Chain A
Amino acid sequence: MTDDIKSAHHPEIGELEIAAAELPDDTLARMGLDAVGASQWRIVWRRLLRHRLAIASFGILVLLGVIAVFANVFAPHGYATQYLSQQLRSPGAGHWLGTDTLGRDELSRLIYGGRISLAVGFGVALSAGVIGTIVGSLAGFYGGRLDTLLMRVTDLFLSIPLLVILIVAATLLGGSVLDIVIVLSIFFWMPLARIVRGSFLSLREKEFVEAARSVGASNFRIIVRHMLPNAIGPIIVNVTLAVAEAILIESVLSFLGFGIQPPTPTWGNMLAESRDLATTAPWLVWFPGLCILLTVLCVNFLGDGLRDAFDPTQDLIKR
């Protein structure tokens, strides 16, 4: 019974899924299953929709994104405006989330800080995603010396703790937003490159790649049109999770004073400024941290939902 499908943990069920794919479309729609020929994206999207937590998280992230992009509309005050008579106000009317030691409005600073934190998170994830995909596909496609070199470089960087190397590199480059995005990107692409390399190594042997080659497709075309679409799931999941990681690491760097420098607010350096005020103005500690937690949690839930959606073998049994 398990002759041909060995992939799933429950081979029997794996087979039944396949068998179900042979049914007419209307039956399938009733069962919430996907018909043969439905595009991969539609399947993924439908699976994702069933992951309610991931969808809710996606919604929250979109909301946070909109608020960040239109920070000047949503923020009640400027992020640098100092209300000198209203220093260290606790949350209440006028300043909903209180003020800091310079009398700046905490809510406004959180909104503008969110803009920076999200920009860093997405900027790093995207650029690292592009670099990682390119390097990984080249190494996986061509193998040989390029592959060896890539793996050695990755090993080398992995032997120095990430935070340490980031602190050193950030010291070298400086503390602007762009500097930090560059520094993080340099060290964020490697895990993805490894994953892409891995899937390319196995895809290289697949029949459809052989077929494409036999009809004279160029290497570039084979990589972009035939192999990349088949490796897209892990890439998207990884890039998504990298957003969370980048936001966390940026906040740590800024917190330690090696990241984005004041007066530009980020959730991390706001926490750094609040550290000495923990006992007198605890709200300055609570809010930026909750913002980071909420964002990172949502990104992680979304990433998890995507992983399930792309790799259905992991989750076949009705919950």
Chain B
Amino acid sequence: MGQYIARRALVSIPVLLIASISVFAIVKATASPVAAIRSNPRVSQAAIEKYTHDLGLDKPPPEQYLTWLGNFIRGKWGTSIVTGRPVGPDIRDGLFNTMILGITSFLVSIVLGVGVGIFSAVRQYSFFDYLSTGSAFLGLSIPVFWFALILQIVFGLYLTNWFHLATPVLPTAGMFSPGATGIDLIDRIRHLILPVTVLSVQIVALYSRYTRAGMLDVLHSDYLRTARAKGLNERTVMMRHAMRNALTPLVSVAAIDVGALAGGLIVTETIFSWPGMGVLFISAMENGDYSVVLTWMMIVVAFVIVFNLIADILYAVLDPRIRYD
């Protein structure tokens, strides 16, 4: 087991390196590091040259890459040319805020998705099964950003108008009310409800399908028939034999998805003005903020790769067939 983990972890290192080269190349092709300041008339040519030199941009690309990689690994992520602020804290805050939103949605979705999926599978072809299948189709077909806008209209406009409210039922933007001091838990949760709803609709749709399919596979498996032939009671059959095997694939899918969260909430964050990684990325892209985009992408890619590794390990822990191969 330990050997498997070590071997699998070692494989991730070259993957990370190759990914870092690609990220560097892609970002370099997209944004000129100095474009943002060159268009600013108040910055002198000399200042631009100094900046270019400081970043090592006058050297050949491979050397630039190595310099950057060295700095990145040591945590020297540089300073944004556009805002003049260090990149590190911005990314850290963004990541933290994104994770609050992402993890909350995730927990909600897993509970709902797995529950709905299992129930649909056990009651295959029941009214509930058809209902959940239909809802899943709707959830997977609805454009996320539009759904978010609709929720904003409903909660920010329609409900307020119909019931003649002074303030909206739920806040439709931001992480907390303006002017709030300290951490007001209720206020935070109220701000989470709409974005979490938007994110969960998709994930629940996906996971409930996934769980249902996995569960149906297991329910029709020979070993479940064996379990029944042994005279086990239905609870043991379901909990010990069916659910565990049905959910194993989902666990690793979920781990991969958690990794993808780091850069995956762009749309929801933009619409709900949630100051996370997505908002940071979009504004950096719009401003051609080279150092932010580069660091951002590398962090996101690292998250994906590391969580892929975790997913593989989890799978091996849960499924003994993997371990010995």
Complex interface: chain B residues within 8 A of A278 (CB): 149, 152-153, 156-157
Q: Closest Cβ of chain B: how far from A173's Cβ, in Å?
A: 10
Give Cα distance in the complex from A167 to B217, angstroms. 38
8 A Cβ contacts from B122-148 to A? 125, 137-138, 140-147
Q: Write out, one digit per residue, whether chain A residues 224-249 have a CB within 8 A of any chain B CB (1) or not (0).
A: 00000000000000000000100010
Q: Write out, one digit per residue, whether chain A residues 167-178 have a CB within 8 A of any chain B CB (1) or not (0).
A: 110011000000
| A164, A256, A257: the one within 8 Å of B300 (CB) | A164
Give Cα distance in the complex from A285 to B157, angstroms. 13
Q: Which residues of A contact B (CB under 8 A)?
A: 9-10, 155-156, 159-161, 163-165, 167-168, 171-172, 244, 248, 251-252, 255-258, 271, 274-275, 278-279, 282, 285-286, 288-289, 292-293, 296-297, 300-301, 304, 317, 319
Give Cα distance in the complex from A184 to B223, angstroms. 44
Closest to B264 in A: A161
| A163, A244, A271, A301: the one within 8 Å of B149 (CB) | A271
Contact A159 B266 (CB under 8 A): no
Complex interface: chain A residues within 8 A of B301 (CB): 159-160
Contact B141 A297 (CB under 8 A): yes
Contact B143 A159 (CB under 8 A): no
Q: Closest Cβ of chain A: how far from B134's Cβ, in Å?
A: 9
Closest to A282 in B: B153
Q: Secondary structure at chain B's binding surface: helix, strand, loop or mixed? A: helix
Of the four ranges (under 10, 10 to 19, 20 to 34, 35 or more), the interface on chain B belongs to: 35 or more
Contact A317 B125 (CB under 8 A): yes
Q: Write out, one digit per residue, whether chain B residues 154-177 have a CB within 8 A of any chain A CB (1) or not (0).
A: 001100000000000000000000
Give Cα distance in the complex from A317 to B263, angstroms. 42
Q: Does chain A have a CB within 8 A of B281?
A: yes
| B140, B157, B281: the one within 8 Å of A282 (CB) | B157
Complex interface: chain A residues within 8 A of B149 (CB): 271, 274-275, 278, 285, 289
| A251, A256, A279, A286: the one within 8 Å of B282 (CB) | A256
Q: Does chain A have a CB within 8 A of B305?
A: yes
8 A Cβ contacts from B235-281 to A? 260, 263-264, 266-267, 270-271, 281
Q: Write out, one digit per residue, whether chain B residues 11-36 have a CB within 8 A of any chain A CB (1) or not (0).
A: 00001001100110011011100000
Closest to B134 in A: A53
Complex interface: chain B residues within 8 A of A286 (CB): 150
Complex interface: chain A residues within 8 A of B282 (CB): 167, 256
Contact A155 B15 (CB under 8 A): yes
Complex interface: chain B residues within 8 A of A165 (CB): 26
Contact B145 A159 (CB under 8 A): no
Closest to B142 in A: A293
Given A10-B220, A168-B26, A300-B137, CB of A293 within 8 Å of CB of B146:
yes
Can you identify 11 A-B contacts, CB atoms within 8 angstroms?
A159-B308, A160-B300, A163-B266, A168-B26, A255-B145, A271-B146, A275-B149, A285-B149, A288-B146, A289-B147, A293-B142
